[in-house]
């Protein structure tokens, strides 16, 4: 239980410090269409957005809003940890939250992968195939893991209900 409390404290710490960043992200996403990007040197996930083209502004906004998906997933993870601390593991809210976390992370990973791909083709004008582990694939795998966890908890909840009915 001590490890769970430590995890909850770390997630709460991240959540508290992410709240001001949400406002900054929303502000940047809107302001990018009114500000000349050549004056700013913005880099998200090792992608430079210093070009002043409309595609660059759109990609920057999508990349910034993509972080909101991760912060939303963090919110649902906090919710799950709260239920775990109260030892309400097989609640329907926990299963639904795992599914939401999985969907948010998988979508976020796919969006960041597409942005990275467009950046390489459009801005760097090169096509390269890289093998190995990158952050986009890790986020997609985490999303799929949480979706799998949701299904496992659903099966476990049904099994627990059947066992509770058996005398």
Q: Is 108 helix (H, G, I), strand (E, B) or coil?
A: helix
pLDDT at residue 40, as a whole number: 64
Q: Which residue has the tokens 């597409």?
A: 114
Element of type H or E holding 78: helix 54-85
Amino acid 102: pLDDT: 97
Q: Kindly report, residue by residue over 47-92, the tens digit of the pLDDT.
A: 666 666 777 778 878 888 888 999 999 999 999 999 999 999 889 9
Q: In whole angstroms, what is the distance from residue 89 CA to residue 98 CA?
A: 12
- pLDDT tens per residue, range 97-110: 999 999 999 999 99
- Alpha carbon separation from 107 to 11, 66, 122 (Å, rounded): 21, 9, 22
Whole-number Å distance between alpha carbons of 60 and 138:
21
Q: What gap in Å lies between CA 3 and CA 105, rounded to an integer?
A: 24
Query: Which pLDDT score is estimated for 95?
Result: 95
Predicted local confidence at residue 155, as pLDDT = 94
Contact 47, 121 (CB under 8 A): no
């Amino acid at each position: 239980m001590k490890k769970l409390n430590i995890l909850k404290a770390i997630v709460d710490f991240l959540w508290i410090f992410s709240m001001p960043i949400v406002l900054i992200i929303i502000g940047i996403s809107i302001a990018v269409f009114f500000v000349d990007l050549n004056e700013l040197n913005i880099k998200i996930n090792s992608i430079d957005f210093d070009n002043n083209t409309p595609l660059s502004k759109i990609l920057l906004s999508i990349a910034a809003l993509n972080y909101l998906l991760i912060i939303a997933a963090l919110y649902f993870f906090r919710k799950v940890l709260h239920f775990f601390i109260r030892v309400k593991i097989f609640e329907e809210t926990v299963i639904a939250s795992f599914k939401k976390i999985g969907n948010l992370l998988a979508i976020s990973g796919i969006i960041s992968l597409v942005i990275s791909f467009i950046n390489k083709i459009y801005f760097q004008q090169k096509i390269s195939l890289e093998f190995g582990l990158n952050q986009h694939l890790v986020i997609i795998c985490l999303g799929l893991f949480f979706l799998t966890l949701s299904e496992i908890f659903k099966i476990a909840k049904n099994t627990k209900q059947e066992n509770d009915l058996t005398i």
